[in-house]
Amino acid sequence: MFCVECGNEPEELRDGLCSECYGKKMQVDIPEHLNIDVCPSCWSVRKGSHWKERPDMHSIMLERIDDAISISPEVKRYAFRAEFIEEDPRNILAAVKVELYSEGIKVERELTSKIILKKDQCPTCSRIHGNYYEAILQIRPSLRELTEEQKEEINYMVHREVEERRGGDRSIFITSKQEMHGGLDFYLSDHGIAKKLSKEISELFGGKVTTSSKLAGRKDGKNLYKMTYSVRIPPYEKGDFIRYKDDIYRIQEIRTSSGHVTLRHVESGKKISLERWEIEDTEVQGGEDLIKEAVVVSETEDEIKVLDPDTYHTKTLLKPKGFKKEGDHVNIIKIGYRIFLTAMEE
């Protein structure tokens, strides 16, 4: 039997060829240039229709070569090694050594290809840079502006939640933050997180959440909505003096879990427990800032006479339950023309 190519007479033939001629037919090819799309902002790499975060560039380049290698039909399997020579940060020369196997024959080929890292923004980064948002988290005070402490607390909660979720999901971010109408607006890339935060913030401050949506276009045949979660922070805080049913009470405790508040009737010292909504429209008179010192003129078991610190007129006041005087001054609050003693013990 003769080899149809060279006419030699080997012991065995493959497709009519000696092993040398068969080996010559075993070919491998690789394109001269290979592109890899890299996001210039986060260095994610495109893999088909997906983007791989924090990629190992070495294995990405090996995979890219493997995907691009083409072999002739005579080759049954192959293995390759590659060396990468960085010409500049965007151009890498790959020196590829391929071993081709078939029918007990092994041949080696050496090839080169230039890998070009192309800039292409990944969908997440283009959302971040395109001011993408799905929901607005609105925090609004009922009457006064949010206090600096409230703002700080809310900021902290929003950032902590976003950071935690971002650890596993880069598509979660704060698009922007604005101070509006004495409150705060957070534009968020994910409406699930906006909803969760609205609930947590309302629980912390005893507020109420209202939800609204706005049609923002269509995608894949579905309506897209932008949601607004608005949290109304009640006007009162612990320690505030409020008017409730024509009497003055001090807010002693706000229990967010049960939705109750404990009020202390300033005049009698009696405590009452109410549901939060019952004082929703309350008139807040003020907080700690209302408390003044007044000089004690005389005292009996139930009453105490003090000097009005503004007019220096003597006023007789009933002692609330549990009231104990210390020294010759007492703490009072003035609301309108009325003066109340404030209990030393809360």
Would you count residue 251 as binding Zn ion (CB under 5 A)?
Answer: no
Minimal CA–CA distance to 80: which of 60, 100, 61? 100
44 or 189: whose CB is closer to Zn ion? 44
Q: How far is the CB of 54 from Zn ion (least distance, A)?
A: 11
Which residue of 18, 28, 75, 197 would you call a contact of Zn ion, by CB under 5 A? 18
CB 58 within 8 A of CB 84: yes
Whether residue 98 contacts residue 28, with contact meaning beta carbons closer than 8 Å, is answered with yes
- For the chain, how far is it from start to end, CA to CA, in angstroms? 111
Q: Which of 26, 28, 36, 39 binds Zn ion (CB under 5 A)?
A: 39
Residue 122 within binding range of Zn ion, rule CB under 5 A = yes
Distance CA 263, CA 299 (A): 27
* Contact region with Zn ion (CB under 5 A), list: 40-48, 236-244, 252-260, 305-313: 40-48
Q: Residue 149: CB partners within 8 Å, gap ≥ 6?
A: none
Question: In sequence order, which residues have a C-beta less than 8 Å from that of residue 293 and are 6 or more positions away?
Answer: 309, 329, 330, 331, 332
Q: Is 6 in the site for Zn ion (CB under 5 A)?
A: yes
By C-beta, is 35 or 262 nearer to Zn ion? 35
Question: CB-wise, 21 or 231, nearer to Zn ion?
Answer: 21
Q: At what angle do helices 148-166 and 191-205 cross, to 10 degrees?
A: 140
Residues 21, 26, 197, 242: which binds Zn ion (CB under 5 A)?
A: 21
The residue range among 31-39, 82-90, 303-311, 320-328 that interacts with Zn ion, by the rule CB under 5 A, is 31-39
Residue 100 token pair: 């081709």
Quick one: which of 42, 62, 295, 307 contacts Zn ion (CB under 5 A)?
A: 42
Residue 125 interacts with Zn ion (CB under 5 A): yes or no:
yes
Report the SS3 class of residue 78. Answer: strand
Q: What whole-number distance in Å separates Cα of residue 83 and Cα of residue 111?
A: 11
Instruction: Tell me the C-alpha to C-alpha distance, in Å, between residue 293 and each of 79, 216, 284, 317, 320.
Output: 90, 58, 21, 14, 17
254 sits near Zn ion (criterion: CB under 5 A): no
Query: Among residues 24, 34, 37, 41, which is the contact residue for Zn ion, using CB under 5 A?
Result: 41
The pairing of strands 241-244 and 283-286 is antiparallel
38 binds Zn ion (CB under 5 A): no
State which residue, 126 or 273, has the beta carbon closest to Zn ion. Answer: 126
Q: What is the pairing mode between strands 105-119 and 33-38?
A: parallel
* Range in contact with Zn ion (rule: CB under 5 A) among 10-18, 229-237, 311-319, 324-332: 10-18
Q: Does 252 bind Zn ion (CB under 5 A)?
A: no
Contact region with Zn ion (CB under 5 A), list: 1-9, 82-90, 135-143, 241-249: 1-9
Q: Which is nearer to Zn ion, 171 or 331 (CB)?
A: 171
From the list 17-25, 196-204, 235-243, 263-271, the region that binds Zn ion by CB under 5 A is 17-25
| Number of residues near Zn ion (by CB under 5 A) | 11
Nearest approach in angstroms of CB 153 to Zn ion is 32
Would you say 18 or 36 has its CB closer to Zn ion?
18
Which residue pairs from 251-255 have beta carbons closer than 8 angstroms and sit at least 24 positions apart in sequence? 252/346, 254/206
DSSP string of 282-298, one letter each residue: -EEEESGGGEEEEEEEE
Phi/psi at 207 (nearest 5 deg)?
A: -100, -170
Q: Which residues bind Zn ion (CB under 5 A)?
A: 3, 5-6, 18, 21, 39, 41-42, 44, 122, 125
